[in-house]
Chain A
Amino acid sequence: MMKRSIVTGQRLVAAFLLGCVLFNYPLIALFNKPGEVFGIPLLYFYLFGAWALLIGLMVWAIERRKE
């Protein structure tokens, strides 16, 4: 139980670190230019996409634990 909870915690910390990189210079700068994806400006599309990805990872880390 304890061991598993530490693994989950580490996964979440990894998600945190990934998020720190995704939401920061220089990765943001790569998408900071005119252009559209599905009619949505590139930068917004990237930020919301990365955000959703991060939440998805957290869901995975948390809900997997019960298996």
Chain B
Amino acid sequence: MLQGWVIASISFAYLGVLFAIAYFGDKRADAGRSIIANPTIYALSLAVYCTTWTFYGSVGRAASTGIGFLPIYLGPTLMAGLWWFVMLKIIRISKANRITSIADFVSSRYGKSQLLGGLVTIIAVVGIIPYISLQLKAISNSFTILLHYPEIVMPARAEALPLLQDSALYIALILAAFTILFGTRHLDATERHEGMVAAIAFESIVKLIAFIAVGAFVTFGIYNGFGDIFDRAEAVPKLKALMTVSDTGASYGSWWSLTFLSMLSIMFLPRQFQISVVENVNERHLTRAIWLFPLYLLLINIFVLPIAVGGLLHFPDGSVDADTFVLTLPMAERQEALALLVYIGGLSAGTGMVIVETIALSTMVCNDLVMPVLLRWKALRLQEEHDLSGLLLSIRRWAIAVILLLGYVYFRAAGEAYALVGIGLISFAAVAQFAPAIIGGIYWKGGTRRGAMAGLTAGFAVWTYTLLLPSFAKSGWLSLDFISEGLFGIGLLKPQQLFGLSGLGEIPHSLFWSMLANIGCYVAFSLHRRPDVVEASQGTLFVDAFRNTESAAGSRFWRGSAQVHDLLPLIGRFLGPERARDAFLAYARRRGLASIDALEANADLVHFAETLLAGAIGGASARVMVASVVKEEPLGIDEVMNILDEASQVRAYSKQLEQKSRELEAATAGLRAANERLKELDRMKDDFMSTVTHELRTPLTSIRAFSEILFEDPKTDLTDRRKFLAIIVKETERLTRLINQVLDMAKIESGNAEWHTADVGLREIIEESIAATSSLFADKQVALDMALAGEVPMVRADRDRLIQVMLNLLSNAVKFCKEGAGRVTVRLGVDGSTVRVDVADNGPGISEADQHTIFEKFRQVGDTMTAKPQGTGLGLPISRQIIEHFGGRLWVKSGTGQGATFSFSLPMNREANEHHEERKAK
């Protein structure tokens, strides 16, 4: 037996733990070490989406419709895929404009309209009240059922109880007191509640653990796993039907409309907006939430169906409400501790929703409904008060209490006619009305205040008529004739078959008509008139949010004169004088000024003051308040358009500028490279000159030395004379060759060389060159192998030049072969579309590093200082120039000690070859 006081004290102990977490969170936030600045905490706090609807209601829904409980969680999963663009944009806009609620968002977007903010607030409050009553119903039911443990007694109908014996009333009051303690302890200019978010994240863990615990108990404790439960369900026709959905268009239509509805709800429920946008610490936290939040939803849904089926099998007579299976199954099995855990889990699901939702709604009621009225109410003389922050707090506290009591009233009035999920869906359909104004507002500059007003009003009216009023009628507050006969007995006006549309469920039906009215009016009224000044400027700020990175973008649209000593006291009245002074001082410091007195009251400061105030009393009221102390010169629509045009022109210019500067950079890089190349060429020219002169001097020196000997000593004997003369002749030849080659090189490089291009056969050229160099081979006793393909195609080149190349390669090969043991191989063949010649020797080879340098002018491998140069150092560069002139390639393949293979290839001349073939054929 669980005593009432045991359950109550456990409940209070749990609330105490929550409060402690929140207190700790706030303390840490004040100390600047936030515990919620963490993407996982952010994702968990988003799970405030899962209320008692999920905790108790999903099972009830599954017990009656099978998969009908799932779309509510698939929708948010899908929507998470769009968060990257949509949610990020909303968060960024809200941070830039210090938007603190969904009403504030809509009113800011459409020209800071107080009327629009008030309308959104009313829709939100009226729409959410059924949802709050759902939490009260679930918590009070679970409390009452647990109270009768171990017997399972369904709670009596609430309206049958006298008011003072109704536990839901006390729960509403306790929750109100708790939320007031929780959320309105002090006034924050950004409306952020770090402690609350920490507590919500904790609650998300508690409810997940509790639900999985009971799911595992039912699946594996009472039954033998998933297979067992579903096997038993197969045997019961009613249960078997739950495993599929009826194969009709309506059931798929309903499935999709619920998915769509939950996609909108995850964005626009006031508590989701509060947690995901207002309480967001860092927009980067969104990334993990995109997958972690859907994962949470998946986990909390895994056991829904097993519990539903288990409950239906366990209580086949229908005496137990399926919405309570989560609690009654452990009770039926006498699991006292588990039943308590479930109760706590349900409590955490309910309190989490109530706390965040009422805080969000109270901010809206205070900023967008009550304050605008009070500030206009001249008799109250609020304009003369010095500190209104206390007033703001008490308005919010009263708002929380009133909202919860309204929830209770709805619970008494209509709560029994619907299952938990049915109640919740009514609220979902209400907040879906915000979607056109918000989504349209951040992607379409043309949306206007009148459009948003008309759309919201029409959608809300249709929602009231097709969903809210029927819910009253079903619970007996209105005559049922209203549903069955239509308003005033007109059949076309039946609220659930409007204009004769039947065959849809009540939710899809209402969603269709309300969205049609909403979007239709929004678009039509927006297009009817051009946006005015404020609408156009706010529209640009919102739609271009990703482009306006500078926070002061809003100040572009303000012109006028203001005084610091007017603004500061104004802000002080709402935020408290101390905090206003601190904020202004911090602003001054950011600008590099020492004190508030040094501040200049320009457009930026006015904008700063307005956003600061907007955090406390909402954008629309802030604008009115600031306007009351500054002299604003109204901007004409043309001027605003000019500013907007200017802004876009500036953007275009800056894009062009970027483009230009990129081009300039590229040009600079090109110039730098060219300069490097010139320097290199200059250095090469110097090197060339000094090398040429050096090369010329060596033979000249020896010619001169031997000539002098001959000249001065006439008695030199004949053999010596001959020897000296031979050297002189040889050196002269070398000199001539060198000069010829230098001239040759210069001609080729300057493009003045004469080329006698004709079709030539490489085989003849090779044979001719070998014949010319045969004496060299013989002198050095170097063996020569030839591997020449019989028929190779002709190439188009200069015959003499090719012989020059061949001679160079052959003489090089001989030169580097060892005397007596040398072997040179010449190969000729076809390589792809080219004709290729290889000249291989078995000399010392060329190291990897030198293979590049040998093609440079005057570079010879080996130490030129000690060893006697064996050539002019121009042969290979000239050869390469010649081959490349005819479109070929000259390269070397070698390794130290492995000989060297010089190869060149020339493209074959197809035309000439064809002629050649023809001639041969004849």
Interface-located stretch among B93-101, B189-197, B225-233, B313-321: B225-233
Known: A23-B259, A38-B227. A58 touches B294 (CB 8 A): yes
Which residues from A are CB-within-8-Å of B295? 55
Asked if B742 is at the interface (CB within 8 A of a chain A CB), the reply is no
0 or 1 for each of A32-63: is its CB under 8 Å from B? (1 = yes): 11101011111110011001101100110010
Residue among B226, B291, B295 with most chain A CB within 10 A: B291
**Contact, CB under 8 Å: B81 / A58:** yes
0 or 1 for each of A1-25: is its CB under 8 Å from B? (1 = yes): 0000100110011011001100111
Which residues from B are CB-within-8-Å of A9? 84-85
Name the residue on B nearest A44 (C-beta).
B305
**Contact, CB under 8 Å: A29 / B247:** yes
**Contact, CB under 8 Å: B298 / A39:** no
Which residues from A are CB-within-8-Å of B82? 12-13, 16
Measured between alpha carbons, how far is A12 from B77 in the docked complex, in Å? 11
**Contact, CB under 8 Å: A43 / B244:** yes
Name the residue on A nearest B80 (C-beta).
A58
Which residues from A are CB-within-8-Å of B77? 19, 51, 54-55
Which residues from B are CB-within-8-Å of A24? 252, 255-256, 259
Known: A24-B256, A62-B287. A40 touches B240 (CB 8 A): no
Measured between alpha carbons, how far is A33 from B247 in the docked complex, in Å? 9
Asked if B641 is at the interface (CB within 8 A of a chain A CB), the reply is no
**Contact, CB under 8 Å: A55 / B291:** yes
Which residues from B are CB-within-8-Å of A42? 243
**Contact, CB under 8 Å: B244 / A12:** no
Asked if B74 is at the interface (CB within 8 A of a chain A CB), the reply is yes
Measured between alpha carbons, how far is A55 from B288 in the docked complex, in Å? 11
A34 to chain B, nearest CB (A): 7
Which residues from A are CB-within-8-Å of B206? none
User: Of the candidates B80, B227, B244, B305, which one forms a contact with A32 in the assembled complex, judged by CB atoms under 8 Å apart?
Assistant: B244
**Contact, CB under 8 Å: B288 / A39:** no
Across chains A and B, the number of contacting residue pairs, with CB separation under 8 Å, is 102
Asked if B78 is at the interface (CB within 8 A of a chain A CB), the reply is yes
User: Of the candidates A23, A25, A38, which one forms a contact with B74 in the assembled complex, judged by CB atoms under 8 Å apart?
Assistant: A23
Which residues from B are CB-within-8-Å of A55? 77, 291, 294-295, 298
Count of residues in B whose CB is under 8 Å from the partner chain: 38
Measured between alpha carbons, how far is A33 from B246 in the docked complex, in Å? 10
Asked if B332 is at the interface (CB within 8 A of a chain A CB), the reply is no
User: Of the candidates B67, B252, B290, B294, which one forms a contact with A47 in the assembled complex, judged by CB atoms under 8 Å apart?
Assistant: B67
Which residues from A are CB-within-8-Å of B305? 44
Which residues from A are CB-within-8-Å of B294? 51, 54-55, 58
A14 to chain B, nearest CB (A): 8
Which residues from B are CB-within-8-Å of A33? 244
**Contact, CB under 8 Å: B252 / A25:** yes
Measured between alpha carbons, how far is A43 from B69 in the docked complex, in Å? 13
Which residues from B are CB-within-8-Å of A51? 74, 77, 294, 298
A47 to chain B, nearest CB (A): 6
Interface members, chain B 174-188 (any A CB < 8 Å): none
Measured between alpha carbons, how far is A33 from B290 in the docked complex, in Å? 32
Known: A28-B252, A51-B298. A19 touches B231 (CB 8 A): no
B523 to chain A, nearest CB (A): 23
Which residues from B are CB-within-8-Å of A44? 67, 243, 305
**Contact, CB under 8 Å: B226 / A40:** yes
0 or 1 for each of B580-613: is its CB under 8 Å from A? (1 = yes): 0000000000000000000000000000000000
Apart from A41-B230, A55-B295: 16 A-B pairs, beta carbons within 8 A: A9-B84, A13-B81, A16-B78, A19-B74, A19-B77, A19-B78, A23-B71, A25-B255, A32-B244, A34-B243, A34-B244, A40-B226, A42-B243, A47-B67, A52-B298, A55-B294
What are 24 pairs between A and B in contact, CB < 8 Å? A8-B84, A9-B84, A12-B83, A12-B290, A19-B81, A23-B71, A24-B252, A24-B256, A25-B255, A28-B245, A29-B252, A32-B244, A32-B245, A34-B240, A34-B243, A36-B227, A36-B230, A39-B230, A44-B305, A47-B67, A47-B74, A51-B294, A54-B77, A58-B290
**Chain B positions near chain A (C-beta within 8 angstroms):** 67, 70-71, 74, 77-85, 225-228, 230-231, 240, 243-245, 247, 249, 252, 255-256, 259, 287-288, 290-291, 294-295, 298, 302, 305
